[in-house]
Copies of this chain bind each other. A is one copy, B any other.
Amino acid sequence: MIIVLKKSASEEQIRHIEEKIREWGLQPSISHGAEKTVIGVIGDEAVIRTKPLEVFPGVESVMTVLKPYKLASREFHHDNTSVTIAPVTAGCAPTVIGGRQIVVMAGPCSVESRESLFEISRCAQAGGAKIIRAGAFKPRTSPYAFQGLGRKGLEYLSEMRRELGIPIVTEVMDTRDVEMVAEFADVLQIGARNMQNFNLLKAVGKVKVPVLIKRGLSSTIQELLMSAEYVLSQGNPDVILCERGIRTFEPMTRNTLDLSAVPVIKRESHLPVIVDPSHATGHWDLIPSMSKAAVAAGADGLMLEIHPRPEEALSDGPQALLPDRYMNLMKELGTLASALGRSI
């Protein structure tokens, strides 16, 4: 940590800061520049980080040298982590997220009925998706909007999972539901609005199911990594990160898909990262181009929404792909993945 002093800092103020630093078991190192004096603080940054050095008289600003996350960082864990999802049907191959294969998770936005779930899941699987996505609990801005089928939805998911032999990812919104949802899901999804629901993060850190964390609408990449750190620090090593668009001033898309987050996360962290172009753009016609862009940017997977009759969708109809458009997109993505030395 580097403390930059005000020009007006007095000798006494500087002495006071140095004393405090030593009191905390750390080492101050003063450097008098031509115009400014700075104090480097040497020692365990975890200790330093908790101290409000900005408030000491004479301090102008404080700069952090170390990253606030550790378990999530590539410095701590150099090689890529891949998350393995056990096969639903014994003897089949597991699904690996973070390897050579780009893993597509597709399905309806929410479980709307047993029939439509089966119909869409079959289509998703036929097109090449390796995991089915569908929400039983839906976080909705309005209390008057469809809130999901809840436990009934999970039961439909479970039945479909067994019959099609395909793993599922589904959202958990409430600490009270974590254990229950963990019994049904192959991957637990933490939604964008819950990315900083810290108790929920702690709770999913204690179960033995992989966790997919969606980046919050206004969360920095560093905050996303800190949320991963919450889960990792509870003992759950299987964390997947998901870029799904951030909130900006641009009104033509629902959010702004920040694809630079993919290579930035790859540089900063060892965790796999996928992209959700459906929620990022909010418009089905933008999804093919942004799916291809995500794959070209190096994403380890995609999350796609499909609906055969978007006119009847109970949530997010405008961003759902029609089955034939999904099929076409998957073919194009296959060609693209090959050109990039990957598969789909």
* Chain A residues proximal to chain B, CB less than 8 Å: 2, 4, 7, 20, 29, 31-36, 38, 40, 42-46, 49-52, 54-56, 63, 65-66, 68-69, 75, 139-147, 173-176, 193-194, 196-199, 202, 216-218, 220-223, 226, 229-230, 233-234, 246-253, 256-264, 267-268, 280-281, 283-286, 289-290, 292-298, 310-311, 313-314, 316-318, 320, 335-336, 338-340
Inside 8 A of A221's CB, which chain B residues have their CB? 250, 252
Q: How far is the CB of A218 from chain B (nearest CB, A)?
A: 3
Task: Give the Cβ gap from A96 to chain B, nearest Cβ, in Å.
Answer: 21
From known contacts A66-B35, A233-B143, infer whether A289 and B262 are also in contact, taking CB-CB under 8 Å.
yes
Q: A256-B258, A290-B297 are in contact. List 14 more A-B contacts (CB 8 A).
A: A34-B42, A38-B65, A147-B198, A193-B198, A221-B250, A222-B252, A248-B256, A252-B260, A252-B268, A253-B264, A259-B293, A260-B290, A293-B294, A336-B340
A320, closest chain B residue (CB): B55
Q: Is the CB of B264 within 8 A of A141?
A: no
Closest 8 CB pairs of A and B: A52-B317, A218-B218, A339-B339, A296-B296, A292-B296, A293-B297, A55-B310, A293-B293
User: Across the two chains, which residue of chain B brings its CB closest to A280?
Assistant: B260
State A39–B154 Cα separation when bound (angstroms). 39
Asked if A199 and B174 make an inter-chain contact with CB atoms under 8 angstroms apart, the answer reads yes
Q: Assembly of this chain: how many copies?
A: 4
| Closest-CB distance, A287 to chain B (whole angstroms) | 9
Chain B residues closer than 8 Å to A69, beta-carbon distance: 142
Instruction: Choose one: B45, B52, B280, B294; the contact of A318 (CB below 8 Å).
Output: B52
Q: List chain B residues, Cβ under 8 A from A196.
A: 139, 141, 193
Question: Are B256 and A256 in touch, CB under 8 angstroms?
Answer: yes
Q: Which B residues lie within 8 Å of A199 (CB)? A: 173-174, 176
Across the interface, do B311 and A285 meet the contact criterion of CB distance under 8 Å?
no
Name 19 A/B residue pairs within 8 A (Cβ), A-sorted. A2-B63, A4-B65, A36-B65, A51-B311, A52-B317, A54-B317, A63-B63, A141-B223, A143-B233, A174-B175, A220-B250, A246-B249, A252-B260, A252-B264, A263-B290, A267-B285, A292-B340, A296-B297, A336-B340
**In whole angstroms, how far apart are the Cα atoms of A261 and B38 in the complex?**
27
- Name the B residues within 8 Å of A175 (CB-CB): 174-176
A236 CB to closest chain B CB (Å) equals 12
Give the CA-CA distance A201 to B74 in the complex, in Å: 37
A55, B311: Cβ atoms closer than 8 Å: yes
A314 to B256, CA, bound (A): 32
Our pick among B38, B43, B56, B142 for the contact of A40 (Cβ within 8 Å) is: B38
Q: CA separation between A141 and B140, bound complex, in Å?
A: 24
**Contact across chains for B142 and A52 when beta carbons are under 8 A apart:** no
